[in-house]
Structure 1
Amino acid sequence: MANTIQPQKLFVASCTALLVTSLSFGIRAGILGDLGVLFHLDVKQLSIIASTAFWGFPLAVVIGGFIVDLIGMKRLLLAAFVLHLLGIILTITASGFWSLFISTLFIGMANGTVEAACNPLVATIFPTNKTTKLNHFHLWFPGGIVIGTLLVFLMKKVGLTSYQLQVATMLIPTIVYGYLFMKLDFPVTERVASGISTSQMYRSVVSPLFICMFILMFGTAITELFTGQWIEVLLKNVTENSILILALTAGVQTLGRAVAGPVVHRMSPTGVLLISAILSALGLYLLSHVSGNMIFVAAFIFGMGVTYFWPTMLGFVSENIPESGALGMNLMGGAGMFAVSIYMIFMGGFYDSIIVKNLPAGAAVDAYRSAAPGSAEATAFAQATAVAGPEIIKATLVIPIILIVAFTGLYFYMRNRKNAQKVQIA
């Protein structure tokens, strides 16, 4: 079977699968506010629905990490195809909170299953260029968010406001990647091919360096994905085209990951992560303090900051802790998404509490939320939400500041370790 493996076709199919994952993020970010109005959901309920995709993801990615070596990457990706199909169809036919909850859970599990199989697949078919190819693979995540958010924006502009129609566009790439993976042959994972034992793999994922990266993944994922998923809700009363801010940040990420090769080779992965944390903190600070066209400048800086977080974290583990194999990469992805899901639920409640604090004492929030446009209540509610969004961003700013300190320490630790290895070889 080895001679029938077609790395480039497998890579294209993997990118198409990741495109569906990212479209689900982009389209959901674009329709989240509409779902709230259509099904009479408050921000906390919306945050629970949105977070379902984030904890469905780690559930699938961690389970996938444990079984991918046993059942193979092909079976895992065909399971992702079925879950995506079910999730999209159930979203289109949703009738309220629980149907949206279940459909989003299926899509989240499908997204996690794609990552559980495709990350080790890319590392396996490109063993000498892992971090660069993982960046190229992951450019389809922000790339799909750009496509998804612009698709929703343009469909609304031309009067196609049905969220069902917007979600249905995901069916096309889903069917394409399912067909491609059915036809292609797959290699075994890199760990299996290298003869690394299961006990070695388990020992590597409890090493101090892996545990450190596992914890830091919480912060990098929240900084990137929470802000991206909620940018339209957080800034909708601060700027008219808040959905375009998400498209801009995702567009910057797409271009940045496309040119990852020279960046990663010129700098160490830890240097890339440190600069990313600095730019992310600066971007979030500006997003919470500026207005008008300066918001787009802030979004550009923030987009530059989060560009290399996810793929470089995975690439760092794959290159520096190779014995962890597919399990190590999938535990990292699961950690990131789980952290985002918990943070999103917490911040949804915090967002609502800020709104209540900025409304007249004793006001019925639901009455203000559903008030007729142009009324005094609607104006007061808009002003309260305009305050709440930047406050949430300010609270999130603490995370990249902590990351700056952590990645500075990691940078010097890895540099000293590398120098020690050179001395030992000499």
Structure 2
Amino acid sequence: MQQPTIHRGQLFLASCLALLVTSLSFGIRAGILNQLGENFHLSASQLGTIAATAFWGFPLAVIIGGMVVDIIGMKKLLLLACVFHLVGILLTVFASGYWTLFLSTLLIGIANGTVEAACNPLVAAIYPDNKTTKLNHFHLWFPGGIFIGTLIVFFYNKAGVGPIGGWDPWKVQVAVMLIPTLIYGYLVSRLKFPVTERVAAGVSTGDMYRSLLNPLFVFMIICMFGTAITELFTGQWIDVLLKNVTDNPLLILTLETGVMVVGRGLAEPVVHKLSPQGVLLISSALAALGIYLLGHTTGNMVFAGALIFGMGVCYFWPTMLGFVSENLPKTGAVGLNFMGGAGMFAVSIYMILMGSHYDKLLGDKLPAGADLKAYTDAPGGSDMANALAEAKKAAGPQILDTTLIIPIVLVFAFTGLVVYMRGRRKTQLLTPVSA
């Protein structure tokens, strides 16, 4: 099937801006999570559920989007994402409590998933000969947006800017996301889009769905659970977990995401030198070391941990997608989007479990029979508030220790993948070429 004449540079720019909105939502939400808890009197469990809601909407949208993108086209899917972003952002700004925050975060999650459902196959379609590298370049805007978002929150708070036009500071910070949303919506509306790579290649829908049963694809889906949790749970909860360990927990996230931006920007020589599976193995080892340092050090060493952790997770998401696109091309857009959906679904479940576990840890560290909500609502500087701060200081690293198990398991999984791919390559080389 002949592809229409397209401007792939402009399409790539529109895709990056759409992903920027996705990542800004993560960065700004991570920065205001504690503030939302204080303003609306929410427990850690409720905050965990709200944060997890974005991860529920994401897999729902990315899986459905992956199944329909070949039918309705990537352009319509991205325009739909723009609408969901606009509605979700405005609902967040005008939220009045738990349920409005829940709904607005769900809508933003759906928008984020729809962006991935359209843009991952789009990047693969317009850069067929350099998929893993260009997916890394595209996905650098995820940590890039978190980096920008956390800086917005940090400097806005440090500047002590009060309400603007009757809006609390956190509402202004959320409203910033409207700017790139409107820009990418405009770009998408005027550009021509290609069909997906699978459609262009003439691979049937049946072959695509049968390819999802390939054992290698199933293995990558399971590994995606771990890589997504390691990267996204840790980043989203940094402010909560380490707020009482360091004075600048948000700067830890900023440093981590800054490293990820640089790493993904330099992906081409790294991926070509080490191979995607080699990159994933080294990334897992660095991520494990980074989480260990985050949970077991204080002072400047915490920032060293963030640096190493950022180096570890920077290649996870795009390289997982690139590996599948290059080695399992018949899985098409559905394969890419099932990977993303599986990752976000795993993060959503893990966030809920860890939110409840965190509350339990806090309860265990407070006096017997203590009412956690009463301690949460206690005025700053009071004995109850100080006791809760000490409990959080101990509980945060324990959550990190639990999460540390995941990248350690991934080290063994990706070691097996490296060995398997070497064997597969040798088998392919030894197989006679038919006339």
TM-score bucket (shorter structure): over 0.9
Per the TM alignment, residue 207 of structure 1 is displaced from its structure 2 partner at its CA by 0.8
Per the TM alignment, residue 2 of structure 1 is displaced from its structure 2 partner at its CA by 4.2
For residues 388 and 3 of structure 1, the distance between their equivalents in structure 2, rounded to whole angstroms, comes to: 55
For residues 373 and 266 of structure 1, the distance between their equivalents in structure 2, rounded to whole angstroms, comes to: 53
Q: Deviations over 1:154-178 (max 9, x none)?
A: 1111123621100000000000000
Q: Deviations over 1:99-153 (max 9, x none)?
A: 0000000000000000000000000000000000000000000000000000011
Paired residue for 2:415?
408
Q: Deviations over 1:303-351 (max 9, x none)?
A: 0000100000000000000000000000000000000000000000000
Paired residue for 1:395?
402
Among 171, 174, 178, the alignment partner of 2:178 is 171
Per the TM alignment, residue 374 of structure 1 is displaced from its structure 2 partner at its CA by 1.7
- The answer to whether the aligner puts 1:136 opposite 2:137 as a matched pair is yes
Q: Deviations over 1:47-75 (max 9, x none)?
A: 00000000100000000000000000000
Q: Is the 8 A contact 2:4 2:193 kept in 1?
A: no
Residues 96-175 of structure 1 aligned to structure 2 (within 5 Å): 96-160=97-161, 162-175=169-182
For residues 35 and 24 of structure 2, the distance between their equivalents in structure 1, rounded to whole angstroms, comes to: 17
Among 279, 291, 303, the alignment partner of 2:298 is 291
Paired residue for 2:165?
none
- The answer to whether the aligner puts 1:376 opposite 2:383 as a matched pair is yes
Q: Deviations over 1:241-267 (max 9, x none)?
A: 000000000000000000000000111
Per the TM alignment, residue 372 of structure 1 is displaced from its structure 2 partner at its CA by 2.1
Paired residue for 2:166?
none
Per the TM alignment, residue 3 of structure 1 is displaced from its structure 2 partner at its CA by 5.0
Per the TM alignment, residue 4 of structure 1 is displaced from its structure 2 partner at its CA by 3.0
Paired residue for 2:83?
82
Q: Tell me the SS of whatever aligns to 1:95.
A: coil
Paired residue for 2:277?
270
Q: Deviations over 1:250-293 (max 9, x none)?
A: 00000000000000011111110000000001111111100011
Paired residue for 1:238?
245
CA gap of 1:255–1:214, structure 2 versus 1, over 3 A, is same
Q: Deviations over 1:207-231 (max 9, x none)?
A: 1000000111000000000000000
For residues 70 and 112 of structure 1, the distance between their equivalents in structure 2, rounded to whole angstroms, comes to: 17
- The answer to whether the aligner puts 1:350 opposite 2:336 as a matched pair is no
For residues 344 and 377 of structure 2, the distance between their equivalents in structure 1, rounded to whole angstroms, comes to: 32
Among 218, 231, 243, the alignment partner of 1:224 is 231
Paired residue total: 426
- The answer to whether the aligner puts 1:323 opposite 2:324 as a matched pair is no
Q: Is the 8 A contact 2:4 2:192 kept in 1?
A: no
Among 187, 190, 194, the alignment partner of 1:187 is 194
Paired residue for 1:23?
24
State the TM-score, normalizing by the size of structure 1: 0.99
Residues 58-73 of structure 1 aligned to structure 2 (within 5 Å): 58-73=59-74
**1:324 maps to amino acid:** T
CA root-mean-square deviation: 0.9
For residues 94 and 369 of structure 1, the distance between their equivalents in structure 2, rounded to whole angstroms, comes to: 21
State the TM-score, normalizing by the size of structure 2: 0.97
Q: Is the 8 A contact 2:362 2:388 kept in 1?
A: yes
For residues 364 and 172 of structure 1, the distance between their equivalents in structure 2, rounded to whole angstroms, comes to: 43
**1:269 maps to amino acid:** P
Q: Tell me the SS of whatever aligns to 1:397.
A: helix
Among 302, 311, 314, the alignment partner of 1:307 is 314
Per the TM alignment, residue 399 of structure 1 is displaced from its structure 2 partner at its CA by 0.4
**2:415 maps to amino acid:** T
Per the TM alignment, residue 425 of structure 1 is displaced from its structure 2 partner at its CA by 4.5
Per the TM alignment, residue 364 of structure 1 is displaced from its structure 2 partner at its CA by 1.7
Q: Deviations over 1:342-370 (max 9, x none)?
A: 00000000000000000111112122222
Contiguous gaps of at least 5 residues in structure 1: none
Contiguous gaps of at least 5 residues in structure 2: 163-168
For residues 224 and 61 of structure 1, the distance between their equivalents in structure 2, rounded to whole angstroms, comes to: 18
Among 395, 419, 428, the alignment partner of 1:421 is 428
